[in-house]
């Protein structure tokens, strides 16, 4: 019997996003992938070019994943955590030894890091839609991010709404934010740095 399954890596990225958005509207944050302009801002804001361990939450079809890999040092590691099984299969086909694709929940960051013998991440980057999840789930994810980050580690969330800022302020303090208009839809990039010795370290926005 012929195998009619299409290679998800070769499929059109926008079509994949739309299909998965319609199937799982609470899991997928947009109907199309991020623009290269948004990817560039994410790279700059996260400090990916000097990070040793990066965690990506919700990599989708892998546009931001590839941009991170292009920017990262050769000895860095990228752990991409995806809840959607189809997107996980897409990410798993990226051929880069620095990438660790993982099918699982963002609530389990510390356990997943330990599973792959990775240290505390210098950056956690999130594209998952905090606006569509419960307050309890959103808080659990942010607490997991804050606990996992290295001292002065950066949490970067790119979102179309401000729910993540409301949830994150009691845990990580005030944010810095910028807007990327060259994206559909226009998207905010939020940034926090982990508190050090009880004081919030002020992030520098590139």
Give tens-digit pLDDT for 74-102. Answer: 999 999 999 999 899 999 999 999 999 99
Q: 9-18, 41-50, 142-151, 163-172: lowest mean pLDDT where? A: 9-18
**4 or 127, which is more confident:** 127
Share of the chain above pLDDT 90, in %: 70
Whether domain 35-193 has CATH 3.90.1150.10: the reply is no
Q: Give yes or no for residue 199 having a pLDDT over 70.
A: no
Confidence of residue 196 (pLDDT cuts 50, 70, 90): confident
Cis peptide upstream of residue 185 (ω within 30 degrees of 0): yes
Beta-sheet pairing, 176-180 with 187-193: antiparallel
State the Cα torsion 114-55-190-107 to the nearest 10°.
-40
Residue 4 pLDDT: 37
Q: Would the pTM of this model clear 0.85, i.e. be above it?
A: no
Confidence of residue 61 (pLDDT cuts 50, 70, 90): confident
Give tens-digit pLDDT for 109-139. Answer: 999 999 999 999 999 999 999 988 999 999 9
Report the pLDDT averaged over residues 176-204.
80
The pairs formed by 197-205 with CB atoms below 8 angstroms and a separation of 24 or more are 200/172, 200/173, 200/174, 201/152, 203/154, 203/176, 205/45, 205/176, 205/178
Share of the chain above pLDDT 70, in %: 79
User: Which of 143, 70, 77, 150 lies closest to 115 in space, CA to CA?
Assistant: 77
Confidence of residue 17 (pLDDT cuts 50, 70, 90): very low
User: Please, are residues 168 and 161 in contact by the beta-carbon 8 Å criterion?
Assistant: no
Q: Give yes or no for residue 20 having a pLDDT over 50.
A: no
Where are the domains positioned within the chain?
35-193
Residue 179 pLDDT: 96
The tokens for 173 are 């303090």
Rounded to 5, what percent of the chain is helix, strand, coil?
40, 20, 40
Q: For the beta carbon of residue 180, count every other beta carbon within 10 angstroms.
A: 18
């Amino acid at each position: 019997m012929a195998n009619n399954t299409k290679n998800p890596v070769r499929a059109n990225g926008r079509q994949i996003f739309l299909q998965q958005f319609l199937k799982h509207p609470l899991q997928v944050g947009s109907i199309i992938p991020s623009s290269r302009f948004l990817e560039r801002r994410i790279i700059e804001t996260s400090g990916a070019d000097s990070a040793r361990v990066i965690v990506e939450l919700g990599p989708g079809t892998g546009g931001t994943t590839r941009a991170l890999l292009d920017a990262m040092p050769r000895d860095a590691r990228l752990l991409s955590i995806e809840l959607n099984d189809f997107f996980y299969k897409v990410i798993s086909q990226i051929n880069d030894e620095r990438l660790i694709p993982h099918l699982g929940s963002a609530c389990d960051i510390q356990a997943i890091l330990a599973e792959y013998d990775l240290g505390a991440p210098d950056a956690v980057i999130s594209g998952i839609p905090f606006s569509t999840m419960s307050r309890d789930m959103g808080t659990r994810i942010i607490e997991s991010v804050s606990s996992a980050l290295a001292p002065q580690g950066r949490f970067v969330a790119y979102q179309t709404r401000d729910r993540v800022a409301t949830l994150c302020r009691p845990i990580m303090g005030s944010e810095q934010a910028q807007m990327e208009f060259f994206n559909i839809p226009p998207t905010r990039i939020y940034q926090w740095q982990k508190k050090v010795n009880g004081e919030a370290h002020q992030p520098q926005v590139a």
